[in-house]
Amino acid sequence: MAGIATGTLSRPVIWGCTLSADKTYVVSFTKTNTSPSVLKGLQPPIRADYVFIAWYESSSFEGIAITDLSTVADGTVLYARYVPKDEATAETIGLKYTLINDNTEYEVSIGTAWSSVIVIPSTYNGLPVTKIANNGFYDCYSGNNGARTNNITQITIPSNVTSIGDSAFRGCSSLTQITLEENSRLTTIGSYAFYGCSSLTQITIPSSVTSIGSYAFYGCSSLTQIVFEDTEYWFRTTSSSDFENKINGTFTDLSNPTDNANYFKSTYANYGWYKL
C-alpha cells in the first residue's frame, strides 16, 4: 500500500485524505500563506497496525528517503512507506544527530522523523549515540519542517545512551511505552524529561541511573508504577547546589513502584533525586 501525495508541496495544507479503490491514499493540497493551519511538512495518512517510515519519490521505495520536503518540487508525487509494527525494529529515518564531546559522540533529536514508533540506533556514522538532546522530542515537534506531530507512541533507547536531556520528551502526550535496551548505561534523566507525558503508565529505571532532575515525571497523570532496579541510597532535595553535589538530601525508600509514581508525579515532583 502506498500513500500518494500530489499538488503543491511548498506550503501545503491538508484538505482531505481518502482511500481509493486500488488501496492507495490520495492526499490533496493547496498553497496558502495566510492560513493558521499551514504545514511546512507533510503528515502521512494513518494506517492501523503499521508504522510510517518515510516518503519516497519511487513507488518501489528505491533511492534516498525524503526527509526535507522543502527540497521537493511542486507537483511531485510522493509515496509513503509503511512497515508492520512488529517489524519496525530498524532505526527511525529522519532523526537528527549532532556531534558532541569533541566530536566523539552524537546526541539525537526528532529532526524530520514522522514515525509514531521511534527507534534510536546505538551508533551513527561509526560513533556512539550517547545522549537524547535537551528538548529533543519536546511536544514531539519536528523543528526542521515546522510541523507538530505529537503522535509518538513508543520509543526504544539503546544501551549506549547515558543521558536523557532536560525536557527531552516534555509534552509527548501520546507516548505510552519507553523501552530501555538491556545493559543500559543510562545515568541521568534531566529535569522535565517526561513532563506532561499523560499517556505513560509505567517505566523502569535502570540500576545505572544516579540522578533524576526535578519535575521529570510531573503531569504524567496516567503513571501508576515507577520500578527502580536499584532502590537503595536514593535522596531527594529542592536545592540545586545540593543536587549537583549530591549532599544534604533526604533519604527516601523507592522500593514500592506505586508510591514511587506518586512521589515523582505529584508529592515530591519539584525535588531533584540522586543516588549514592
Q: What is the C-alpha radius of gyration for the chain, rounded to an integer number of angstroms?
A: 21
Q: Which three cell numbers stand for residue 36?
A: 493558521
Q: Which three cell numbers stand for residue 223?
A: 503513571
DSSP assignment of 248-265 = SPEE-----HHHHHHIII
- Report the C-alpha gap between 220 and 198 in whole angstroms: 4
- Report the C-alpha gap between 113 and 118 in whole angstroms: 8
pLDDT the model gives residue 39: 32
* H helices present in 123-177, as ranges: none
Q: Give the CATH fold of the 96-275 domain.
A: 3.80.10
pLDDT the model gives residue 253: 96
Tell me the CA distances in angstroms from 228 to 159, 160, 197, 204, 206, one per residue in order. 17, 19, 19, 6, 6
N-to-C CA span, the chain: 53
Can you give the pLDDT of all 276 residues of the chain as single tens digits?
A: 334 443 333 333 333 333 334 444 444 444 443 332 323 345 566 667 766 666 667 766 655 566 555 566 666 666 766 666 665 555 677 788 899 999 999 999 988 777 778 889 888 888 999 999 999 998 775 443 344 445 788 899 999 999 999 999 999 988 999 999 989 999 999 999 999 999 999 999 999 999 999 999 999 999 999 999 999 899 999 999 999 999 999 999 999 999 999 999 999 999 999 999
Tell me the CA distances in angstroms from 67 to 43, 54, 61, 64, 77, one per residue in order. 12, 7, 13, 9, 15
- Report the C-alpha gap between 114 and 139 in whole angstroms: 13
- Does the model's pTM come out above 0.85? no
Domain spans of the chain, in order of start: 3-87, 96-275
- Report the C-alpha gap between 273 and 238 in whole angstroms: 9
Is the separation of the CB atoms in 2 and 20 below 8 Å? Answer: no
